Structure 1
Amino acid sequence: MKLKSIRNINIKTKLLFLGGFSIMGLVFMGTESVLTARQINEASTEISQSWVPAIIIAEELNTRTSDYRIKEYNHVITDNDRDRDRLEGEMDQIQQDIAQGFKDYELYITNESDRKLMEAAEEEWSKYLDYSDSLLAVSRENRTQEAFDMIIGESRQLFDDASNGLLKVVDFNRKGAEAASIHGDRLYQQLAKVKIITICLISGVISLLVIYLVIAIDKPVKALVEGTRRVANGDLEVYLPYRSEDEIGILTNSVNQLIKRLKYIIDDEKYLFREIGSENFGVKSTCEHAYRGDFAPILYSITSLMSRLDAAKKRKERGESADTEENVKEQLSGKAVCREITKHGRRKMDASDKKG
């Protein structure tokens, strides 16, 4: 029932449905591609514009703190005031760079966890700097041993805490970048999977529709071609069984009706001419309804022919009767002439006898 309903849909609608389905499939694929590509781009942008810069800044901060630590150590072991002044100037510049680094990092904080880790590292660094000021004061007073004990003791512990805090920030951002990269890979795999499934699905449906349309059009068209060829060769026992309400079904029905009408007309003409041959000029057509349109003159010509033949027959019959009466009159006239001639001869003979 469903297949019959599909067959009853006209070809134009079927082709429009095929084209519409193809367009919808392409639109779906395009939309899905754009959305997934946007997500991949967001993940890539997050990596390039957030995670990677944060990693770079955190690593630079850790490097600069190490530079500060090295110069602090040199400050402790040197006994030259000029070198100490130079080292303190360089250490001040490093402190400024580190402070600027902490400020720059705020632009790339991704979430609250990231913020807390950086604030903890900054706090540990501040503790270290506070202790470093005390250490440098001892170092300036040339209390080298005491300063050395401080730098390898509590100062080292404070530095390790600050450095570990920065390393935690670096590790956090690296894991975030890896997670974003994995997310991007998953999105790409999802996009590829959706594309493959969508392409296979749409290609399969389109292929089925195309095959159905080809079969639905090719088979009845071939039957039409074969049927009309047989009709052209004089075979009117042709019947095309295709039934549908689409254009091919309507054409098939029209061809069947045409063949049926031709058969009616030809059978009727055979009957009429057979009756005409038997001089039955009053015979009537058995299917006058078939002679419509350009077929009407055929019946009109046959009817006119029968009328003329009937009139000729009647004239012929009347002509034979007239000929018979004329012959009688001619015969009667001939006998009278003979009688007159005989009478005239007898009168002549009688007159001669009297004279003699």
Structure 2
Amino acid sequence: MDKYQTFYQPNPEILELVQRIEQQLSQWSVLVASLSSQQRLVLQHRALHASLALDHNSLSLVQLQELAAGKRVVALVHDIQQANNALTLYQQLASLDPYQSADLQRAHAAFMSSVVSDAGQYRLQGAGVYEGHKLVHMPPPPGNVSALVDSLCHKLQHEPIHPLLASCLMHYQLAFIHPFSDGNGRLCRLWQQLILASWQSTFAFLPFTAVLKDKARDYYKTLRQSVPKYDATAFILFMLRSIQECLSVETAQFDHGELSQVAVLPDQPLVDLAQFVQLKAQKVKNKTSGPWYKTEDQILKKLKKDNRLSAKTLADELGLSSRAIEKQLAKLKAEGKLLRTGPAKGGRWQVVA
């Protein structure tokens, strides 16, 4: 892959983790074989929910389960669309080959249908990954993306490398290449799971993305610090530790009969954003703690200090995408907590709450 070749250093802990995971997989396979189809679905929903949450989707696991059951839930229409797309795609996983770039584009098209205009197409513009105001990674130019993805898929399919390591390298390298304008994180995590499931089918029911969600800060930090060095060693270690931890936790839950069951929500009509905000104001007096509200508080705090900040600047400072910030700003304005005065460029924010 020319100068975009990724390396990892020989490390005794990597070998130890691989051996430990292989041992645990034997027990995991026996446990999964004893599950009902409904219980397996619960595990898949947990994995899907965690991956969506890492990309700032606001749906709860309960709402995702109800959506999958064909019920209507009260949530942001944009987030419901993303979740429905993901649920549809997860039903097609068996037809996807993780080493075919065309399938990667097909999966992106399904994931991002009606969400972005270029769903299924490689990005046509340059991109940058920021930490605060600091550019921490400049992905390859768009003209190189197709060749790089093809080369990556061919390399990992044909090189003699353990599937656990190949899955980590696929995740890492796709994040490095950043092939799409949006939705790259979900595809990176899904493609790692596809490689693992093609090696051991019971990986399809291991919700290791739930561990990544719980360690989101460390997950993103390790990925961003590894990319500029062209060295995936630290990221491989982080992912293998997460997989091993997930196997331990899930096996222990089985032993104690604590497998999560399908939760139930009352049937509710699908509403648009304005209706959702109105219902929230009527029914919820105290906000629940969580990443969604922490981000709201951070945005309001920053705008109190500087009411001229743009959505892009907020996104850079908070380490989020511009689309995620714009969604938060729209929600705050709809709730009456934030006002915008003046023109789009050069205007000011007024924090009401």
Shorter-chain TM-score bucket reads: under 0.3
TM-score, normalised on structure 1? 0.16
Greater relative contact order, per chain length (Cα 8 Å cut-off, separation 6+): 2
TM-score, normalised on structure 2? 0.16
Higher-helix-fraction structure:
1
Higher-strand-fraction structure:
2
